[in-house]
Structure 1
Amino acid sequence: MQVATPLVTVAPSRLKLWSALTSVYILWGSTYLFIHFMTERMPPLYMASLRYIVAGTLLYSYARLTGTPRATRTEWRSAGIIGVLLLTIANGCLTVGLQYIPTGVAALLGGMLPVFLLTLNWVSFGRQRPTNLALAGLVVGLIGIFFLIKPDKMQGTGGFDANLIGASLVTFGNFSWAIGTLLTPRVSLPAPNISSGIQMLVGGGLLLLISLCVEPVTPLSILDAPAKAVGSMFYLVVFGSIIGFSSYAWLARNASPQLLSTYAFVNPVVAMLLGVTFAGEIFSSQSLVGAVIALIGVILITLGRK
């Protein structure tokens, strides 16, 4: 199990840096496909909740067994709030949204996270006006989103209503993820591994409660899950939640924000290629044009950050 590397005073090696980046590029890009596989024949919120409860238990237990101090009540509350924003709301919306739209389109919509970060930091959190280049990127990105969800050309898993529902869920999830991201440095959190474990336990636990209320499941429904769903869930636990998230957390402390943000460009490409290859997804020419426009917008926003 890979864990976040403690902060050190020396610069990280290029090998370690690019190993972590490759992990985030490939593993996080592949999570869209495995979420699709995990929820093909199982309720989405239920499977997502088990993914985070298992991963959170492993991370929290490992951190405590290796001597990481336990979190205070204030730190538990802060990490729990972040977990609800990032995992219960954001990832819950993504998991349900993938029932309606292709994985590649969902990844493209997820790649628009810098748009929400830019806007929220401007109007609320940081009160910092973005540069003209970043504003241009915001406009270009929104145009790309329009082409992505325009119903007459896009080929999803349903008609216009399905496309609109899926895109709306993923977009709202991005909004919640942006709030959680901007809130994180403003609250008191414990050590990284303990914090990640708490976020997953609280976020996954709340997802399970919601699932038990709205989905036809019991706590032991996993015993009836097909092997493909269970295997996909454990892939997401190990490679998406533990290795991928730990790599991202390490990069957040050791790499420049500009370099780290490049995952928003690579994840959609990985997700789209995997979706076409293994899930039989089809993209119209208009959807591909929208994808390119949206990525150009994200690049402009990243280059235009102060």
Structure 2
Amino acid sequence: MNKAIGPRFWLVLAFIAIYFIWGTTYLANLYALKAIPPFIISALRYLLAGLLLAVLAYSKDQVIPTGKQIRDLAISGVLMLVGGSGLVVVAEQYITSGSAAVIVATEPFWFVLLDQPRWKLYFSDKKIIAGLLLGFAGIILFTQFSPASTSHEGQSANQLLGTVIVLAGAVLWVGGTLFASRRIKPGSYTLWHTTIQLLAAGLFATFLALVNGEWNGFAWQAVSMQAWGGLAFLIIFGSLIAYLAFAWLVTIQPPAIVSTHTYINPLIAVLIGWMAAGEQVTGLQLIALTVVLTGVVLTQLSKTQVGS
């Protein structure tokens, strides 16, 4: 970071990145899906972003992590980026970008449910209990109130299937985050950490695309400029800028503070999806969204810092 500008400046920029850029990546997924299969999107996104970041890390002569650290980073990268973000792309074949973002907002709840060593601490806090109940109730309502059909090319409306896939992705993202937080020493972060996560995720997504038959018949020349634009946005803004900002923030800020992006992203995603892609948003959905965000806020405002 440029010390002449000051750390607070970079801190603000990093939070802007995870708040607003990640909120728009859901729509970028939809554009990329118009011509590119989901796991190929993830493969190209993470491999290209990882290679670009590797060049930057090498140019800065940063220390490469040890073999054990590389293994742990690779595992966390696959869980978070392929299992987490990658499954969101798969799910957006069935649901709107706004719906996907709202469901991803359940991540703080999964931190509570999966962080077993802190269960006694979490479940003794009434705000967390209330937040969990409200959040999941809101997700059920949001799914119930969602329009019966989607208007995007290449989508096949299936709200239940899409919801289940995104919930699975949220669980894997949280699992990967917890895995990394317990194995990577605080303050040891370098660009190589994010590079390894991205490259491991890209290679694994390439393998899944092969197993899933996505490479068969995939024609590069048939991909529209709009789809390439969506993929480029995901690579440059979603992975290089926003994910790098996230990876840095979790080393200098409490995870509970960093995870506040989960209740800003849905607002941005729903608004952008409505304005740019004509996604339907009903009044009942907005009520359900409010219920979800209220639940998330309750968990974050509790005296017990979730994920910290």
TM-score normalised by L of structure 1: 0.89
Q: Secondary structure at the match of 1:99?
A: coil
- The partner residue of 1:285 within 280, 283, 286 is 283
Give 2:169's aligned residue.
173
Amino acid at match of 1:56: G
Structure 1 partner of 2:134: 140
How many Å separate the matches in 2 of 1:157 and 1:215?
Answer: 25
Q: 1:127 to 1:297 in 2, by over 3 A?
A: closer
Query: Do the aligned partners of residues 208 and 234 (structure 1) sit closer, same or farther apart at CA in structure 2, a change above 3 Å counting?
Result: same
Q: CA deviation at 1:98?
A: 0.7
Distance 2:146 2:190 in 1: 44
Partner of 1:126: 118
**Which residue does 2:36 correspond to in 1?**
42
Further displaced range: 247-256 or 237-246: 247-256
**CA 66–268 in structure 1, closer or farther in 2 if over 3 Å, else same:** same
Instruction: Return closer, same or farther for 1:73/1:254 CA change in 2, 3 Å cut-off.
Output: closer
Give the TM-score of the pair, scaled to structure 2.
Answer: 0.88
Counterpart in 2 of 1:297?
Answer: 295
- The structural deviation recorded for 1:126 is 3.5
Q: Which runs of 5+ in 1 are unaligned?
A: none
Structure 1 match to 2:213: 215
**Following superposition of structure 1 onto structure 2, how do residues 127-206 of structure 1 map, counting pairs within 5 Å?**
127-130=119-122, 131-150=125-144, 154-157=147-150, 162-188=158-184, 191-206=189-204
Letter in 1 for 2:11: L
From 221, 242, 245, the counterpart of 1:244: 242
Counterpart of 2:190 in structure 1: which amino acid? P
Look up the SS of the partner of 2:7 in the other structure: coil
SS in 1 for 2:158: helix
**Which SS does the other structure have where 1:157 is aligned?**
coil
CA-atom RMSD in angstroms = 2.4
The answer to which of 257-266 and 284-293 deviates more is 257-266
* Aligned positions of 1:8-157 closer than 5 A: 12-13=7-8, 15-121=9-115, 124-130=116-122, 131-150=125-144, 154-157=147-150
Deviation at 1:274, TM superposition (A): 0.7
Asked whether the 8 Å contact 2:39–2:214 carries over to 1, the reply is no
Could you list the runs of 5+ residues in structure 2 that have no partner in the other structure? none
Aligned residues between the structures = 295
Judged with a 3 Å threshold, the aligned counterparts in structure 2 of structure 1 residues 62 and 68 are, in CA distance, closer, same or farther, namely: same
Output the CA distance in 1 between the equivalents of 2:196 and 2:219.
Answer: 24
Distance in 2 between the 1:29 and 1:212 partners? Answer: 29
Structure-1 separation of matches of 2:156 and 2:120: 37
Q: Which moved more, 1:219-228 or 1:242-251?
A: 219-228
Moved more, 92-101 or 217-226: 217-226
Per the TM alignment, residue 118 of structure 1 is displaced from its structure 2 partner at its CA by 1.0
Provide the C-alpha distance between the structure 1 equivalents of 2:139 and 2:161, rounded to a whole number of angstroms: 14
Query: Is the 1:55–1:241 Cα contact (8 Å) retained in structure 2?
Result: yes
Partners of 1:298 and 1:153 lie apart in 2 by 20
* Equivalent AA in structure 2 for residue 268 of structure 1: P
Q: Which range moves more in the overlay, 210-219 or 49-58?
A: 210-219
1:252 is displaced (CA, Å) by 2.1
Deviating 4+ runs (over 6 angstroms): 158-161
User: CA 1:179–1:305 in 2, change beyond 3 Å: closer, same or farther?
Assistant: farther
TM superposition shift of 1:305: 4.7
